[in-house]
Amino acid sequence: MNLSERIVVAGGSLAGLRSIEAMRREGYAGEIVALCAEAYLPYDRPPLSKQFLKGAWDEDKLALRRQGVEDLEVDWRLGRAAASLDVRSRRVKLADGGSVEYGGLLIATGSRARALPGSEDLARVHVLRGLDDARALRAEIGAGARLVVIGAGFIGMEVAASARELGADVTVVEALEAPLLRGLGRTLGDVVGQRFRDHGVTLHCGASVSGFEGDAHFVAVELADGTRLEADVVVVGIGVVPACDWLADSGLDISNGVRCDATGATGLPDIVAAGDVARWHNPLLGRAVRYEHWTSAVEQSTVAAARLIDSESVEPLVQVPYVWSDQFEMRIAIVGEVADADKMHVCHGALDEERFLALFGRRGKLIGAVGMKRPRPLGACQEGIARGVSFEDAVKANA
């Protein structure tokens, strides 16, 4: 089978859907088969921890494409997960024992939530990655519920904020010294932490979990310092891992995601990858990076689709990552990377105000920026990072 006959998209994710849309826009007229591990058409995941969890959105509003799905002319195979890849026979084998032959393959199987050892079999311990997770969690969180969130990353803090707005008694446990430390740095992490405390959320930072106890009716979290946190429900939000174990015998490099060049090509003929499962080369950094952001999935899927159907004319993607998060009254938006910064400058407001912009530099270059309700200057910073502007010039431009 050749590429013009059939392309298989493994994964019913955002990246999977956007790649299909891009292929059709580019004029690809062959058959497209989409393998979706879940029993649903592609849906939007960011609202699961916010609007959906709080009951503001119903499930219909989560659909990534509410109209015109039929126009894409896709063979949607829902509830049929990819289990292995046979490159020699050009077949994706499925978990139910079936298989599908491909001419081209786009890998977009996303990621799965990490679990904490000892919590997997406890009914009241949840992760939040997919719609089924969100349904189960929404049924248990409400006014007066005691919630413990383990992990103060974006998912953990969004769940904590949503639950607190619903009237739950919320405690957050984080092993690092401040919330959102990897995404915001220590200073801004402390600012966010204080705002959560102002909303009545209890934070245990620099604390590790030593174990769990529970049954169908309650769960208790034991911390290493002996603290015992009793709860009605626990959410584990300690990150994700790329869903690429099904590719273990394929010959692809899958260390921390499917290794790709800056166009999504994997090194194997007619196979590309995009989204959370992919580790793309970023020309700005000179190395491959796996981004877990909505915007990165969209950008990568468009380029990877073009690379698959028209490999000669695709320009490498230069990525300056962008991610946002809504927590209480805060809309936090980040461009670039801030973790390794050696300088920070606050402008367009102050840290104790509703609006501000924080610039981050390393070795004289602007490497990242964090804004609260400052979209225009943040967008300018994203462009500046792509151009390689100096930290000093960025500070002057935002004086």
- Kindly report, residue by residue over 201-222, the tens digit of the pLDDT: 999 999 999 999 988 888 999 9
Q: How far apart, in Å, are the Cα atoms of 204 and each of 124, 189, 221?
A: 20, 13, 12
The reported pLDDT for the residue numbered 218 is: 86
What is the rounded CA–CA span in Å between residue 159 and residue 179?
A: 13
What is the rounded CA–CA span in Å between residue 223 and residue 213?
A: 12
- The strand pair at 233-236 and 125-126 is best described as parallel
Tokens of 230: 């009793």
CA atoms lying within 13 Å on the CB side of residue 31: 12
The reported pLDDT for the residue numbered 339 is: 85
* Rounded (5°) CA angle 363-262-249: 115
CATH number of 6-46+62-112+242-313: 3.50.50.60
What is the rounded CA–CA span in Å between residue 134 and residue 130?
A: 6
Could you please report the per-residue DSSP string of 333-361? EEEE--TT-SEEEEESS-TTSS-EEEEEE
Helices (H) and strands (E) counted in the chain, each on its own, are 7, 26
- The strand pair at 365-372 and 330-336 is best described as antiparallel
Percent of the chain with pLDDT strictly greater than 70: 100
pLDDT by residue (tens digit) across 240-285? 999 999 999 999 999 999 999 999 999 999 999 999 999 999 999 9
Q: Is the distance from CB of 133 to CB of 48 less than 8 angstroms? A: yes
What is the rounded CA–CA span in Å between residue 270 and residue 282?
A: 21
Judged against a pLDDT cut of 80, whether residue 107 lies above it is answered with yes
| DSSP helix/strand/coil, 328 | coil
CATH number of 329-397: 3.30.390.30
Q: Is the distance from CB of 51 to CB of 81 less than 8 angstroms? A: no
CATH superfamily of 115-236: FAD/NAD(P)-binding domain (3.50.50.60)
pLDDT-derived band at 318, boundaries 50, 70, 90: very high
- Name the DSSP class of 390: B
What is the rounded CA–CA span in Å between residue 366 and residue 381?
A: 8
Judged against a pLDDT cut of 80, whether residue 311 lies above it is answered with no
Judged against a pLDDT cut of 90, whether residue 184 lies above it is answered with yes
Q: Is the distance from CB of 223 to CB of 96 less than 8 angstroms? A: no
In DSSP terms, which residues pair with 260 in a beta bridge? 280
In DSSP terms, which residues pair with 223 in a beta bridge? 209
| DSSP helix/strand/coil, 10 | strand
What is the rounded CA–CA span in Å between residue 382 and residue 363?
A: 18
- Name the DSSP class of 315: P
The reported pLDDT for the residue numbered 217 is: 83
Q: How far apart, in Å, are the Cα atoms of 166 and each of 3, 48, 138, 251?
A: 50, 15, 10, 48
The enclosing H or E element of 133 equals helix 131-140
Question: What residue ranges do the domains of the chain occupy?
Answer: 6-46+62-112+242-313, 115-236, 329-397
Percent of the chain with pLDDT strictly greater than 90: 92
Judged against a pLDDT cut of 90, whether residue 324 lies above it is answered with yes
pLDDT-derived band at 189, boundaries 50, 70, 90: very high
pLDDT-derived band at 291, boundaries 50, 70, 90: very high
The reported pLDDT for the residue numbered 312 is: 75
Looking up tokens 């049954």 gives: 215
What is the rounded CA–CA span in Å between residue 195 and residue 229?
A: 22
Nearest to 291 by CA among 340, 336, 245, 244: 336
For range 29-58, the mean pLDDT: 96
Exposed / middle / buried, residue 329 (Cβ in 10 Å: 0-12, 13-18, 19+): exposed
The reported pLDDT for the residue numbered 32 is: 98
Same fold? 6-46+62-112+242-313, 329-397: no
Residue type, 59: E
The reported pLDDT for the residue numbered 41 is: 96
Judged against a pLDDT cut of 80, whether residue 45 lies above it is answered with yes
Question: What is the rounded end-to-end Cα distance, in angstroms, of the chain?
Answer: 59
